[in-house]
Structure 1
Amino acid sequence: MTALLTIIIVLFVAVAIWQLIKIFDLAQAGSENSLVATDKDNKINGYLMMGFLAFIYIITILSFWYLGDLPLMSNAASEHGPGLDNLMIISMIIIFIVQTVTQFILHYFAFKYRGEKGKKALFYADNNTLEFIWTIIPTIVLAGLIIYGLFTWNDIMNIDEDEDALVVELYAQQFNWKARYGGEDNVLGKANVRLIDLDKANILGVDEDDPNAQDDVIVTELHLPVGRPVLFKMRSQDVLHSAYMPHFRAQMNCVPGMVTQFAFTPTITTEEMRQNPDIIDKVKNINDLRVERRAEIEEAGQELNYEFDYLLICNKICGKSHYNMQMKIIVETQEEYDAWMKEQTTFANSLN
């Protein structure tokens, strides 16, 4: 596929050079009529328009066939994920249909109504019916998509701390993530960047005098119990970051000086997702590529075999190490989560 795209690009560059040469020759001809298109020129350009239309359709089909992830988006791991995927698929189908029809009309009309000697263009001032049709149809379609999107967004965001949601803070800083759990009371203690004290390992600026902060747990690996709503509170220490969890269809900006939030319910554990046929295929492809680059990977001190994990990544270009700002997410059963939490050190104990 890469070779085909390279050939196509080279072909287009050659055509562009050829056209530039023709323009230069015409400019040097000196005849006042040398720049006037003839019937032959118009006919050639008309057929070129149809040829380019065929090229657009062919390259679109090949892109779907070789590069498209079909069926589109099959690995949503949150309760709201399938609804969000449906909204995306509907939007893409509508865009694809509109693009296909409008491109055909554009190129076909350029071919059919190309200039010919003796032919006069029809002056068509206006048509209220046509104006109404191409105004009202996009209005109805866009209104439907917007309303559908608003309902989807409300379903995602209408989770609060009263619904037995696990409360977790995501703390962003160049170039890593920290997660803070509310502990046994599931209430996060107060925090402020002005309270950061590296001597006491208080790297998140948690208020040491707040009773709710004493049982908070700060970790560098995010664990989530499957089937339980999770409410994320997000802060940034330095610049604008974006907490992006692609498999959970979740993304929210982390803004310095304010707290943003996002909620979702995980539905598929990490182990279950690893058994997904699409994930198995992707992992195999990645490991095949890593074998080809064995020397580079071993030199970098990385493990050769890749294993799928959910990830929290930064989706804002926040600096030179932005590409590597990520945190592992493990979705597990409630029993496994409880066992893991018992092994963690509370904020109060970490200060001692």
Structure 2
Amino acid sequence: MHTFLLVVILVLGFIITVQIARATEFVSIIQGEEKTRKQSNRINAVLLLIFLFVGLFGVYWAHHTLGDKILKLGTAASDHGIKVDKMLTYTLIATGLVFFVTQILLFWYSFRYQERENRKPYFFPHNNKLEMLWTVVPAIVLTILIAFGLVYWFQITGPAPENAATVEITGSQFKWEFRYPGKDGVLGKKNYKYIDESQDNSLGLIWDDVATHDDIVSGGPLHLVVGKPVKLVIGSKDVIHSVGLPHFRLKMDAVPGTPTTLWFTPLKTTKQMIEETGNENFVFEIACDQMCGAGHTAMRGEIIVETQEEYDQWMATQKPQYQIAVLDKQEPAADSTAAVAVASIADENK
């Protein structure tokens, strides 16, 4: 029924448009084509001038009333984010200047130089210097902006500092999962063939690889240390997702079977951002920036940026996934090796 009504509305709208066009044509025949054309030109010229002022006021109003609802330039919470904000500032200055100049001239000229009986049009078909100017100048400006973007991109996706922490982020419909290396600082091997939710192995970790025995798996929030570089190893278990970090000004796609990486250094803790924003419920957000299905808009993660001491305290409360999936499920009477392994892993993570 809803579809039928929509089709009927569209058909009626088309019929009304055709009838208005025909009525306009009949009026022009009665009044005379030239008189009708001049009258239309005057009306359109006035409307364009009104649209200019209303549009400029709309830009001001939107900025004034909605400015607090968007991320502001200069508030980035990561080292790379500061550079991205600078690049965006340069881009807005260049494109904003062109936008306002061209739009004001466009609508003003439409009003100022409308058709009049005592005015003859001046045809300006070709000018090599002018064409060279409006081709070369934009090309140079855009090349500079692109160069900034490429430099920052290679920095973000390039090798992370040697002291950087490593965290793996895996997306699936519709959630994020995080894996931290244990004391060895190495993420163990995994394979999608080993994924088994019923056996507490949602990431497909290979238990035969000793490096997986101290890996911590968490459904969130993601914990990071302020002032310490972190390398994110990003992947997906099903479709393409995208790790969007708006407060850090970063984004990277999560592609099934093809790990991607980026690194950055958080500069502000969650507590500092709560004080700066005045929002006691503030959290650093992980948004999926790639349409990934019906639950895409609900695929949201959180990040807690804290001090090293707070991070260590949190890490000490976490159990390695190997302990949860394997050791805790062994028979109590199996042998004492399991108890020794649990104690060893717990001591390493403290």
How far did residue 213 of structure 1 move?
1.1
Distance in 2 (alpha carbons) for counterparts of 1:137 and 1:42: 34
Q: What is the match of residue 309 of structure 1?
A: 283
CA-based RMSD: 2.3
How far did residue 20 of structure 1 move?
8.6
How far did residue 198 of structure 1 move?
2.7
Report the 3-state secondary structure (helix = DSSP H, G, I; strand = E; otherwise coil) of the residue aligned with 2:152.
Answer: helix
How far did residue 204 of structure 1 move?
0.3
Which structure 1 segments of 5+ residues have no match?
1-17, 284-305
CA 1:325 to 1:26, structure 2 compared with 1: closer, same or farther past 3 Å? Answer: closer
How far did residue 33 of structure 1 move?
6.3
Instruction: Work out which of the residue numbers 2, 12, 25 in structure 2 matches 1:27.
Output: 25
Deviations 1:228-272 (A, max 9, x none): 110000110011111112111121110111101111111111111
Moved over 6 A (4+): 18-22
Report the 3-state secondary structure (helix = DSSP H, G, I; strand = E; otherwise coil) of the residue aligned with 2:138.
Answer: helix
Asked if 2 retains the 8 angstrom alpha-carbon contact of 1:159 and 1:165, the reply is no
Of residues 78-87 and 150-159 in structure 1, the stretch that sits farther from structure 2 once superposed is: 150-159
Q: What is the match of residue 211 of structure 1?
A: 210
Distance in 1 (alpha carbons) for counterparts of 2:255 and 2:40: 58
How far did residue 30 of structure 1 move?
7.4
Deviations 1:32-66 (A, max 9, x none): 76444443432332222222111121111111111
Distance in 2 (alpha carbons) for counterparts of 1:155 and 1:46: 50
Letter of the aligned partner of 2:281 in structure 1?
E
Letter of the aligned partner of 2:292 in structure 1?
C
Letter of the aligned partner of 1:345 in structure 2?
K
Asked if 2 retains the 8 angstrom alpha-carbon contact of 1:72 and 1:89, the reply is no
Q: What is the match of residue 186 of structure 1?
A: 185
Letter of the aligned partner of 2:25 in structure 1?
A
Report the 3-state secondary structure (helix = DSSP H, G, I; strand = E; otherwise coil) of the residue aligned with 1:41.
Answer: helix
Distance in 1 (alpha carbons) for counterparts of 2:125 and 2:97: 28
Q: What is the match of residue 41 of structure 2?
A: 42
Deviations 1:119-174 (A, max 9, x none): 432222211111111111101110111111222223323343x6111111001111
Report the 3-state secondary structure (helix = DSSP H, G, I; strand = E; otherwise coil) of the residue aligned with 1:184.
Answer: coil
Which structure 2 segments of 5+ residues have no match?
1-15, 328-350
Deviations 1:52-103 (A, max 9, x none): 1111211111111112249933431111111111111221222211111111
CA 1:51 to 1:198, structure 2 compared with 1: closer, same or farther past 3 Å? Answer: closer
Q: How does 1:62-73 map to 2 (within 5 A)?
A: 62-69=61-68, 72-73=72-73
Q: What is the match of residue 293 of structure 1?
A: none
Letter of the aligned partner of 2:86 in structure 1?
N
Identity %: 36
Q: What is the match of residue 342 of structure 1?
A: 316
Of residues 222-231 and 31-40 in structure 1, the stretch that sits farther from structure 2 once superposed is: 31-40
Report the 3-state secondary structure (helix = DSSP H, G, I; strand = E; otherwise coil) of the residue aligned with 1:252.
Answer: strand
Equivalent residues, number: 308
Letter of the aligned partner of 2:269 in structure 1?
T
Report the 3-state secondary structure (helix = DSSP H, G, I; strand = E; otherwise coil) of the residue aligned with 2:214.
Answer: coil
Letter of the aligned partner of 2:205 in structure 1?
V
Query: Greater Rg, structure 1 or structure 2?
Result: 2
Letter of the aligned partner of 2:142 in structure 1?
L
Q: What is the match of residue 142 of structure 1?
A: 142
TM-score, structure 2 length as denominator?
0.82
Report the 3-state secondary structure (helix = DSSP H, G, I; strand = E; otherwise coil) of the residue aligned with 2:79.
Answer: coil
Q: What is the match of residue 237 of structure 1?
A: 237
Of residues 314-323 and 249-258 in structure 1, the stretch that sits farther from structure 2 once superposed is: 314-323
CA 1:243 to 1:30, structure 2 compared with 1: closer, same or farther past 3 Å? Answer: closer
Letter of the aligned partner of 1:105 in structure 2?
L
Q: What is the match of residue 165 of structure 2?
A: 166
How far did residue 312 of structure 1 move?
1.5
TM-score, structure 1 length as denominator?
0.81
Q: What is the match of residue 289 of structure 1?
A: none
Report the 3-state secondary structure (helix = DSSP H, G, I; strand = E; otherwise coil) of the residue aligned with 2:146.
Answer: helix
Report the 3-state secondary structure (helix = DSSP H, G, I; strand = E; otherwise coil) of the residue aligned with 2:29.
Answer: coil
Asked if 2 retains the 8 angstrom alpha-carbon contact of 1:176 and 1:326, the reply is yes
Letter of the aligned partner of 1:25 in structure 2?
A
Distance in 2 (alpha carbons) for counterparts of 1:185 and 1:164: 13
Asked if 2 retains the 8 angstrom alpha-carbon contact of 1:26 and 1:35, the reply is no
Q: What is the match of residue 8 of structure 1?
A: none
Report the 3-state secondary structure (helix = DSSP H, G, I; strand = E; otherwise coil) of the residue aligned with 2:63.
Answer: helix
Distance in 2 (alpha carbons) for counterparts of 1:44 and 1:55: 16
Distance in 2 (alpha carbons) for counterparts of 1:63 and 1:206: 50
Asked if 2 retains the 8 angstrom alpha-carbon contact of 1:42 and 1:116, the reply is no
Of residues 195-204 and 22-31 in structure 1, the stretch that sits farther from structure 2 once superposed is: 22-31
Of residues 326-335 and 32-41 in structure 1, the stretch that sits farther from structure 2 once superposed is: 32-41
Q: What is the match of residue 296 of structure 1?
A: none
Q: What is the match of residue 128 of structure 2?
A: 128
Asked if 1 retains the 8 angstrom alpha-carbon contact of 2:80 and 2:156, the reply is yes
Deviations 1:273-328 (A, max 9, x none): 1100xx21xx3xxxxxxxxxxxxxxxxxxxxxx71111212122212222221222
Letter of the aligned partner of 1:77 in structure 2?
A
Asked if 1 retains the 8 angstrom alpha-carbon contact of 2:71 and 2:247, the reply is no
CA 1:50 to 1:179, structure 2 compared with 1: closer, same or farther past 3 Å? Answer: same
Letter of the aligned partner of 2:156 in structure 1?
I
Letter of the aligned partner of 1:171 in structure 2?
T
Distance in 2 (alpha carbons) for counterparts of 1:92 and 1:350: 51
Report the 3-state secondary structure (helix = DSSP H, G, I; strand = E; otherwise coil) of the residue aligned with 2:72.
Answer: coil
Are 1:332 and 2:330 an aligned pair? Answer: no
Asked if 1 retains the 8 angstrom alpha-carbon contact of 2:158 and 2:262, the reply is no
